[in-house]
């Protein structure tokens, strides 16, 4: 069979040109990346199978017509609670933005997880929500790079007929809150990006320093996820990269970024593999935008035009939803109480007499403060 690199169209910068160098895996001795020992091939095409349809579940119910913004949320089979929280919170904004489509993408469960617990019923979830894409790779923390490249593959190969592919693809984590109205405003009203832009947009990390193995760690079998042994990469700094919590890919970047990700030797940190090495080989700039939050700012420090907030699950999703709906003068009832913002704090309270909460004077039992 023809190698995938032989079918590649755009001319890429070489690994040498972007400084992607590594030591000989055959002679390496020391702690390893779990799941990616020196002896394992890093040829991405072996795992992504670019010539094959690797979607495993039935996605015929997905309506991808009229999609202008495709949000692909990287999840895992067992993280149904996170998906449900997103469906209950920020995905509700899509009622007002019907050209925005969100899908959850994950791989297959490991045999160990399937033995310990009942396998997740993907068919049942799809029958209820019709927003799940399961692809042919083993879903694990070690394989998160394959997860992101699979997301690019789906966006590149899915059937968007008869109106063609979306203007933008957003790659996001399932612990990220996305403010859909502000995302739409950024993409279509603020004159900062177009579908033809040749850059990635999100929170940009500038030439981050590589975390290498310390002498005290050399007896360990495996390195931490952010530690890089020399057989994976032997540089001192990474090219500019995006926070993987959420970033935007204009349509013009998708083909080269996907193909570059497939022909670049696999790197275990997904954000570095795709938005640093692969993007650098395509010559794409990574453009910083402070409206993408890579962490959890205090409520008073949130920009009113915030697009995304990372490390946000459970009650944080509830709190962010209230904050962003409050910008539009709307309050949301959640559970047995109501989340409200008083003096820059998010609280859950019971409403006196069932009246709509607009200020602290109408609220009782407000001592439960949501921290995140």
Report, as an integer, the average pLDDT of 292-299. Answer: 83
User: Of residues 105 and 300, which shows the higher confidence score?
Assistant: 105
Residues 21 and 105 in one domain: yes
Structure confidence at residue 112 as a pLDDT band (50, 70, 90): low
**Residue 191 backbone class (left: φ over 0; alpha: ψ -120 to 50; beta: rest):** left
Structure confidence at residue 299 as a pLDDT band (50, 70, 90): low
Structure confidence at residue 7 as a pLDDT band (50, 70, 90): low
Report pLDDT for 323. 83
What are the C-alpha distances in Å from 121 to residues 54, 76, 125, 130, 310?
18, 12, 7, 13, 27
Return the residue matching tokens 């049942």: 124
Q: Is the pLDDT of residue 26 over 90?
A: yes
Q: Where are the beta strands (DSSP E) in 206-318?
A: 241-250, 285-288, 292-293, 308-309
Give the model confidence (pLDDT) of 36-65 as tens digits: 999 999 999 999 999 999 999 999 999 998
Among 292, 319, 334, which residue terminates a domain?
292
Among 253, 274, 292, which residue terminates a domain?
292
| 3-state helix/strand/coil string of 12-52 | CCCCCCCCCCCCCHHHCCCCEECCECCCCCCCCHHHHCCCC
Residues 258 and 335 in one domain: no
Domain extent for 12:
4-292
Residues 218 and 359 in one domain: no
**Average pLDDT, whole number, for the chain?**
86
Residues 280 and 305 in one domain: no
Residues 13 and 83 in one domain: yes
Strands 337-342 and 69-74: unpaired
Q: How many CB atoms lie within 10 A of CB 27?
A: 8
User: Of residues 348 and 90, which shows the higher confidence score?
Assistant: 90
Residues 364 and 244 in one domain: no
User: Of residues 272 and 95, which shows the higher confidence score?
Assistant: 272
State the Cα–Cα distance between residues 31 and 258, nearest whole angstrom. 30
Q: Is the pLDDT of residue 31 over 70?
A: yes
Q: Is the pLDDT of residue 129 over 50?
A: yes
Report pLDDT for 357. 39
Strands 292-293 and 308-309: parallel
What's the number of domains the chain is made of?
2
Q: Is the pLDDT of residue 300 over 80?
A: no
Give the model confidence (pLDDT) of 159-171 as tens digits: 999 889 999 999 9
Length in residues, the chain: 372
Report pLDDT for 111. 66
Report, as an integer, the average pLDDT of 127-139. Answer: 97
User: Of residues 210 and 334, which shows the higher confidence score?
Assistant: 210
Residues 205 and 271 in one domain: yes
Among 232, 259, 292, which residue terminates a domain?
292
Residues 84 and 185 in one domain: yes
Report pLDDT for 369. 41
Give the model confidence (pLDDT) of 158-213 as tens digits: 999 988 999 999 999 999 999 999 999 999 999 999 999 999 999 999 989 999 98
Residues 224 and 353 in one domain: no
Residues 279 and 317 in one domain: no
Report, as an integer, the average pLDDT of 142-162. Answer: 96
Residues 249 and 353 in one domain: no
Report pLDDT for 351. 44
Q: Which spans in the chain are helix H?
A: 45-48, 80-88, 111-116, 122-129, 144-157, 180-188, 251-263, 270-272, 279-282, 315-326
CATH number of the domain to which 13 belongs: 3.90.550
Omega within 30 of 0 (cis) for the link into 165:
no
Residues 278 and 254 in one domain: yes
Give the model confidence (pLDDT) of 273-295 as tens digits: 999 999 999 999 999 999 999 98
Q: Which of 315, 195, 307, 295 is nearest to 252 (CA)?
A: 195
Report, as an integer, the average pLDDT of 225-248. Answer: 96
Give the model confidence (pLDDT) of 56-94 as tens digits: 999 999 999 889 999 999 999 999 999 999 999 999 999
State the Cα–Cα distance between residues 180 and 93, nearest whole angstrom. 6
Radius of gyration of the chain (CA): 22
Six-digit token string for 223: 């390195």
State the Cα–Cα distance between residues 219 and 221, nearest whole angstrom. 7
State the Cα–Cα distance between residues 225 and 290, nearest whole angstrom. 26
User: Of residues 337 and 269, which shows the higher confidence score?
Assistant: 269
Q: How many CB atoms lie within 10 A of CB 303?
A: 11
Could you tell me the end-to-end alpha-carbon distance of the chain, in angstroms, rounded to an integer?
51
């Amino acid at each position: 069979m023809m190698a995938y690199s032989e079918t590649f169209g755009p001319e890429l910068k070489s690994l040498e040109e972007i400084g992607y160098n590594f030591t000989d895996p055959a002679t390496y001795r020391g702690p390893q990346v779990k799941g990616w020992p020196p002896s394992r091939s890093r040829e991405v095409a072996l795992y992504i199978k670019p010539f094959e349809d690797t979607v495993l579940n039935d996605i015929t119910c997905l309506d991808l017509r009229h999609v202008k913004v495709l949000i692909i949320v990287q999840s895992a089979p067992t993280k149904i609670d996170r998906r449900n929280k997103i469906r209950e919170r920020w995905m509700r904004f899509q009622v007002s933005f019907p050209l925005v489509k969100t899908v959850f993408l994950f791989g297959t469960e490991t045999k160990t997880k399937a033995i310990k617990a009942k396998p997740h019923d993907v068919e049942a979830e799809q029958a209820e929500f019709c927003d799940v894409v399961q692809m042919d790779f083993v879903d694990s923390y070690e394989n998160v790079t394959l997860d992101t490249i699979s997301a690019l593959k789906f966006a590149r190969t899915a059937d968007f007929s008869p109106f063609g592919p979306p203007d933008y693809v957003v790659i996001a984590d399932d612990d990220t809150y996305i403010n859909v109205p502000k995302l739409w405003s950024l993409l279509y009203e603020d004159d900062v990006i177009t579908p033809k832009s040749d850059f990635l947009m999100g929170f940009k990390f500038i030439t981050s320093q590589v975390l290498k193995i310390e002498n005290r760690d050399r007896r360990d079998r495996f390195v931490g996820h952010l530690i890089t042994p020399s057989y994976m990469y032997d540089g001192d700094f990474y090219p500019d990269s995006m926070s993987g919590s959420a970033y935007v890919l204009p349509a013009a970047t998708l083909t080269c970024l996907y193909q570059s990700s497939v022909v670049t030797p696999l790197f275990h940190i997904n954000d570095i593999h795709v938005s640093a090495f692969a993007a650098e080989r395509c010559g794409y700039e990574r453009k910083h935008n402070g409206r993408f939050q890579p962490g959890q700012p205090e409520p008073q420090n949130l920009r009113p035009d915030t697009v995304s907030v990372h490390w946000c699950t459970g009650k944080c999703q509830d709190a962010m939803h209230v904050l962003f709906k409050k910008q539009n003068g709307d309050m949301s009832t959640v559970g047995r109480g109501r989340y409200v913002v008083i003096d820059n704090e998010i609280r859950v309270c019971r409403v006196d007499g069932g009246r709509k909460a607009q200020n602290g004077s109408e609220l009782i039992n407000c001592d439960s403060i949501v921290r995140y």
